[in-house]
Amino acid sequence: MSRRSVISEAVAPWTEVARLLRGGEAGTLVPVIIPRHRRRLWWLLPLWFGVFSLLTGVMLSAGDAEGLSGDVSDALAGLAYTLGVVSLLAGGLWWWRSSIVEIEQGTNGVLTRYGAVVRTLDPGRHYLWHPWSRVDFVVDTATEIPYSAPVMACPTQENVPLRSIEFFLKFRIIDAVMFVRTIGAGNFDLVLSSAVQDAIRQRARRVRTERAYDLRGSDVADMQELLNRQLSRYGVRITGSNIPEVQLPAQYQQHLATRERVAKERAAYDQEWGLTRKRRIDSLQMDIERAKKVRDARIVEVKAALNKAREEVAQLLEEQETNAQRVRFEIETRGRSGLIAAENEARAQRRLAQAYRDNRAVLQYELARRRLEVGAALAGSAPRPVVVRTDGAEGGDTSALSTLLTAQLLPRLAALPAAPEVRGAHPAPRTADREDGER
């Protein structure tokens, strides 16, 4: 089993910051470096000396009134001015060089002034012009720091102590100021170790002993969420975790080895039986397929016979229907021909009757006309009677004289020839009356 990781902070000069943050020190993890500052206030001495030299030069320039030689006074004043300017330049250069701070990539510097945290410095070069401003901490905020924590004697659900459970996680500092002000690297190591042990023991308590090896590579998302809730107030976030190794007690390992051997033998027997079973199943399936093919062939034969019988029946039905239709057509033809013959005969009889009726009317008309002609001829040659009324009717003449006159005139009237209008006038009305009566 790998030993437990140790998290600590180190005090080092600026030249060692990158090496310690990336590789640690003596097997420890160093996420926080306290820089060893060489920044002192010695740069004030040349500044004060320069100011004193300038003041001395001013005083020497004004010393002509006290009886000093002009050449000596000017030489001393020039020397004082030169020393003052050089001292001021050296002090300013020293101040500028001591104010430069370089923060490594992937880290943040915690800037303090008079011991109070002012802000964090991003990676790069910064200038701290204030004399009492300094970087107290350099915190690695980009690297995922691996942490291994083996937990010894974890009891299972049956209260069997496991030899050890190794828990591996990765964390990253997301808030440098909160981390260094709240807990620090050394205290965080103790808090993280206790939190991991508590989470592992809770997980082991829910597992049976024979299932202890199932913890290897199991899902630990709930443990990671629990650790994130506990460590979020320190500015730290767990980015990944797993259980790479679980070790059982020696006696229980032997027991599990026996069980594993039995399980392997059982698996081999199950595999052999599975192969035998598969072979039998394959043979049965082949028989089933063969039987299905035979059944399908017989079904095809039955369907062919059925189709043939249906065709024969359909052919017989078609022949019967053809014969029935032929007989029906013959009957209909004979009926239509008989009906047409009867209609023609009836039409001929009707026309014959019409002809007879027309001939009878013509004959009757001719007969009537001839009767009229005969009657007219007889009427023309018949004597005309003369009626003399002597019955004493009203308005009649009954005297003897009229009677005598009538007797003398009658022979004369009888001797007169017949009038031409009598022959043509009388037959026409009688013929018309006779035709009307016949009609």
Instruction: Name residue, tokens 């029906």.
Output: 328
> For residue range 347-406, what is the model confidence (pLDDT) as tens digits?
888 887 787 777 777 778 888 888 888 888 877 776 666 555 555 545 555 566 666 667
* pTM (two decimals): 0.48
Report how far residue 108's alpha carbon sits from residue 116's, in angstroms, rounded to the nearest whole number.
Answer: 16
Please measure the distance between the N-terminal and C-terminal CA atoms of the chain and give it in whole angstroms: 153
Give the per-residue pLDDT at 42: 67
Listed in sequence order, the residues at least 6 apart from 35 whose beta carbon sits closer than 8 Å to its beta carbon are: 11, 12, 13, 14, 17, 135, 136, 138
pLDDT of the residue at 33: 82
The whole-number pLDDT of residue 237 equals 92
Instruction: Write the pLDDT tens digit of every residue in 86-107.
Output: 887 877 777 777 777 778 887 8
CA 286, distance to chain mean position in Å, is: 44
pLDDT at 89: 82
Comparing CA positions, the residue from 206, 235, 233 lying closest to residue 218 is: 206
Res 432: pLDDT: 40
pLDDT of residue 70: 62
What are residue 146's DSSP bridge partners?
Answer: 170
Instruction: Pick out the chain residues at pLDDT < 70.
Output: 1-2, 24-27, 37-43, 62-74, 253, 256, 382-405, 407, 410-439
